[in-house]
Amino acid sequence: MSRGTSGGTGGGLLVAGTTSDAGKSVVTAGICRWLVRQGVKVAPFKAQNMSLNSFVTREGAEIGRAQAMQAQAARVEPTALMNPVLLKPGSDRSSQVVLMGRPVGEMSARGYHGGRQEQLLGTVLECLAELRGTYDAVICEGAGSPAEINLRRTDIVNMGIARNARLPVLVVGDIDRGGVFASFFGTVALLSPEDQEFVAGFLVNKFRGDVSLLEPGLDMLENLTGRRTYGVLPFQHGLGIDEEDGLRVSLRGSVRESEVSSPVGEDILRVAVCAIPLMSNFTDVDALAAEPGVVVRFVDRAEELVDADLVVVPGTRGTVRALEWLRERGLADALARRAAEGRPVLGICGGFQILGEHIEDEVESRAGQVDGLGLLPVRVRFAREKILTRPVGEALGEPVEGYEIHHGVAQVTGGAPFLDGCRVGEVWGTHWHGSLESDGFRRAFLREVAAAAGRRFVPAADTSFGSLREEQLDRLGDLIEEHADTDALWRLIESGAPTGLPFIPPGAPA
């Protein structure tokens, strides 16, 4: 039975969390998939995202990958409206600010929270209002915790937007970490009376065991706060959409805990991903991890490259810094030895630039002329204008799609063509993110890698990365449908937070 609003402004919900990585992204995606299966026209929204994993929309806007995946869960095309502010860290203290899909400059954390953030509130609210005028429901994702009292004055992503847009708030807690009851209570008790009015209740994530043992605690929590728990989601392996941060392969959970399907051929294939500083779009290797018999791990030591059949140098927000790091740790020498021995290396975006001969950077690091690893005949010059495109093409006899996000402009002076880059021996380089999600191309590439590595590995003929993603999103929708009170959730989305919710002292400090 389909649901829908009566017209005008669509319903809404803000999914907040007790901490970062509590499961906000996953829960938001799950609610979007559950709603769209009920016939609701739904869209995701995150006012401000801090992430090095980003995506290019069809109109050429850069947004967080998590919001792009949530849009897929909602079965809608992602747009800049869904993530109007994206912060891409360049150091511990500064980030590139991407506004409505376009970079507008670098800013320190102090400068951003000192005034710039408040100026963006109007833009954020306009985007949310436009979405709510178009969709039956908009499921918003918060950031970090709404109880970060030091940042409340300038908040535009948690209670700041909830109060301005009058959104009910559902607080998600990761019980697998422990202390979830204290986290739920403390989150509410540190909010001002005005903010507390919008906190409707809680949702427990990653519960293991007999839920009946948890229920007395949920009853006590409701008695203490006057707020109910809307669901208890069980722990499941292999869940998670494209991550904002952290070393994770989305389709398999933590890389070091991944369960690899049996290979089709006689051998497995080992892939080592260099965990370079400010690593970006490491989700590129998700498609490799989805292949039966492919083992993907992130590494930071030269000796960990020895038994790898393929080494991937991924994208980075700090190409020159990553290059220095590779040299300091002996990984640069290990990559050079691999190239000399004819053992496969793949550089993607910043990794492609690192494998080249020279880098001229007056934009990102302002380091000027820097020598690359010299494994590919490529010279890179950083331009101030960021390249944001969705290219299509052909490689290894197969169609390929991807997306580009980079300031570096590559001049290829030799080698065999490979997408927008080149190939010399078994060293490959391209600016294209997402190319390995093209199934035919991925299989052809892995056959080349296996042959060069001397492995009797055979790619599965029927692995569809797109289908695996859809299955994963359906599993997220199933979790919401089967383990949350969906009728109560819909009432929140349609009608807002219940009236008369009690104030829990002490509240936010003055």
Enzyme catalytic residues: 349, 433
**Length, in residues, of the chain:** 510
Helices and strands, number each (H, E), in the chain: 16, 27
Edge-first strand listing for the sheet containing 169-174 = 42-45, 137-141, 11-17, 169-174, 199-207, 228-234
Residue 48 Cα to chain centre, angstroms: 13
Are 278 and 316 a contacting pair, CB within 8 Å?
Answer: yes
Would the CA dihedral through 426, 427, 432, 433 be positive or negative? positive
d(CA 35, CA 27) in angstroms, rounded, equals 12
d(CA 500, CA 63) in angstroms, rounded, equals 37
3-state helix, strand, coil in the chain (%, to 5): 35, 30, 35
Burial category of 342 from C-beta neighbours within 10 Å (exposed 0-12, middle 13-18, buried 19 and up): exposed
Residue 257 CB neighbours (<10 A): 11
HSE-up (13 A, CA, CB side) for residue 302: 14
Closest CA to 240 of 83, 82, 66: 66
Residue 314 Cα to chain centre, angstroms: 15
Closest CA to 338 of 303, 363, 291, 365: 303
d(CA 191, CA 188) in angstroms, rounded, equals 6
